[in-house]
Amino acid sequence: MKQLKRFSLTVMLALPLVTLAEPLVPFEAEMEVTRYGLVDISAEGRLRLRQNDAGEWHYQLHAETRGIHLREDSWVTEVDGDIRPLRYTADTKVLWSRERQNLTFDHLAQRVVGEADGEDVNESIGNSVYDALGYQLVLQQRLKAGEREMEFDVFREDEVDDFAFRVVGEERLRIAGGTVDTLIIDQTAPLRRKERKRIWIAPELGFVPLRFTREEDGKIREEFRVTGLTLDGERVRFN
């Protein structure tokens, strides 16, 4: 069992270059996924990062219950101190609505090719563009490097979006019968009017995300909350 120790946060200067502060660490988190509405829908899910024999990292989000199927897969590699996306797939079904994506990142040709919702994708990209799930690993690594405000490009469906995040505070989060200290990160772009997206990340647990919420008009509409965690092969015990 991995025991948690309290930590004190030290405000560090943001680094001008995007580099991996530390090697990626494999983990697997069980989570509860809830969509709030006229009828709340909850599903059990999993967020997992592991490395295959070829040295690629596979990052996967999966949740399923009656009326909801959510699966995203991102394959990335580490090149010259940066995370580089290789492939991204997504299959999302909520009630009668379904969306699918299958994208390949060709960095030599600087293009993304594949399919999104039945439409062909063949778009040019720059050197530092991330996929719609793997960008979370970039966010974690930049936080490890001490950055408090972050911006980077993310390819979603058929175009590149500018993503921006800012550390806005700290919170002792209750989880799995215990507590853990977290950083609170707000996504500042892209956002719709009266929308807020917030992530709780635990520095002492390899900067693994433990909670995500999306709000509209001050009400939580979607929530992902970790209920159990295995980090680098060791089960975490929350005290």
pLDDT digits (tens, 9 = 90+) for 26-55: 999 999 999 898 888 899 999 999 999 999
- The verdict on residue 198 lying in a domain is yes
Across the range 53-66, mean pLDDT stands at 94
224 pLDDT above the threshold of 90: yes
In 50-134, which ranges are continuous DSSP H helix?
none
Is residue 114 left, alpha or beta, with left meaning phi > 0 and alpha meaning psi from -120 to 50?
A: left
How many distinct structural domains can be found in the chain?
1
Residues of the domain holding 205: 25-237
20 pLDDT above the threshold of 70: no
More confident residue, 177 or 221: 221
pLDDT value for 74:
98
163 has which bridge partners?
A: 152
Q: In which band, very low, low, confident or very high, does the pLDDT at 14 lie, cut at 50, 70 and 90?
A: very low
Using one digit for the tens of pLDDT, what is the confidence trace for 175-188?
A: 988 999 999 999 99
CB within 8 A of 219, min separation 6: which ones?
36
- The verdict on residue 12 lying in a domain is no
Across the range 185-213, mean pLDDT stands at 94
Q: In which band, very low, low, confident or very high, does the pLDDT at 21 lie, cut at 50, 70 and 90?
A: low
Kind and range of the H or E element at 230? strand 219-231
Residue where the block lists tokens 């005290």: 239
Q: Are 17 and 33 in contact (CB under 8 A)?
A: no
How far is the C-alpha of 59 from the C-alpha of 140, rounded, in Å?
A: 13
Across the range 152-159, mean pLDDT stands at 92
- The verdict on residue 19 lying in a domain is no
Residue where the block lists tokens 């991204």: 88
Q: Are 187 and 198 in contact (CB under 8 A)?
A: yes
Q: In which band, very low, low, confident or very high, does the pLDDT at 80 lie, cut at 50, 70 and 90?
A: confident
Angle at 210 between CA 103 and CA 62, to 5 degrees: 40
- The verdict on residue 18 lying in a domain is no
172 pLDDT above the threshold of 70: yes
pLDDT value for 96:
80
Using one digit for the tens of pLDDT, what is the confidence trace for 95-137?
A: 788 899 999 999 999 999 999 999 999 999 988 999 999 999 9
How far is the C-alpha of 226 from the C-alpha of 138, rounded, in Å?
A: 20
Q: Are 74 and 84 in contact (CB under 8 A)?
A: no
